[in-house]
Amino acid sequence: MTAHPSLKLTYFDLRARAEATRLALTIGGIPFEDHRVARSEWPELKKKTPFGQLPVLTVDGKTQIAQSHGVLRYAGALAGLYPTADALKAALVDQIVLQLEDMNGVIFSRSFANDEEKMAARRAIAEKTFPDMFAAMDAVIAKHTGGKWCVGDSMTVADISLYVFVTIMKTGVWDGIPATLADSYAHVMRVFNGVASHPKVIEWEAAHRK
């Protein structure tokens, strides 16, 4: 049996930037402590993190990894969901994950504007920005897929990241962004449904649905 490092993943009690890592570790059968921080705890904890941000993954009780993409890559490597032996495939996985990071950035760049400005920005996102970004992603997935996944013929952290992004969108939490906006992109939705139907993802969602 392979010995895994002791892992503690620290983030708030929401999906956002830690959920893809949680799912990657779960799918890969890697035990981890899912440390969910209350907002009241954060000011004190912030001083103990590398960059004053979450998520943070603590390895063997001593080494901290910060930045969500760095955390996800490490978790994906442990779980067999990141192609560490293939630099080109790894880059193709990264480009999907980082495109989704850009899409998150589009949403949150205006989240703290006043309501009128925020909703005007959201209309533009829903009508132009996200359709363009989803169309580009759909085309990239079509070009580099070997079946139902983003890159090659097996699941990677790119697929998991896409699943998390679309899942959050489908909750309707982003005012002004239709929950069904991704539904017309066949390759995107094929990946989403592939991850959603994984037995460990079904189990995870049932256990953590609020």
Query: For the chain, what are the domain ranges?
Result: 7-79, 87-208
Quote the pLDDT of residue 146.
59
Quote the pLDDT of residue 181.
97
On the question of pLDDT at 51 being above 80, the answer is yes
On the question of pLDDT at 1 being above 60, the answer is no
Closest listed residue to residue 140, CA positions, set 183, 92, 81: 92
pLDDT tens-digit map of 133-161: 999 999 999 998 656 899 999 999 999 99
Report the topology of domain 87-208.
Glutathione S-transferase Yfyf (Class Pi); Chain A, domain 2 (1.20.1050)
Sign of the C-alpha dihedral, residues 122, 123, 124, 129? Answer: positive
Q: Which single residue is written with the structure tokens 């390895």?
A: 59
178-197 mean pLDDT: 97
Homologous superfamily (CATH) of 7-79 is Glutaredoxin (3.40.30.10)
pLDDT tens-digit map of 4-29: 899 999 999 999 999 999 999 999 99
Confidence of residue 183 (pLDDT cuts 50, 70, 90): very high
Q: What is the pTM of this model?
A: 0.94
Quote the pLDDT of residue 2.
60
d(CA 207, CA 160): 18
When the pLDDT of each residue in the chain is averaged and rounded to a whole number, the result is 94
On the question of pLDDT at 117 being above 60, the answer is yes
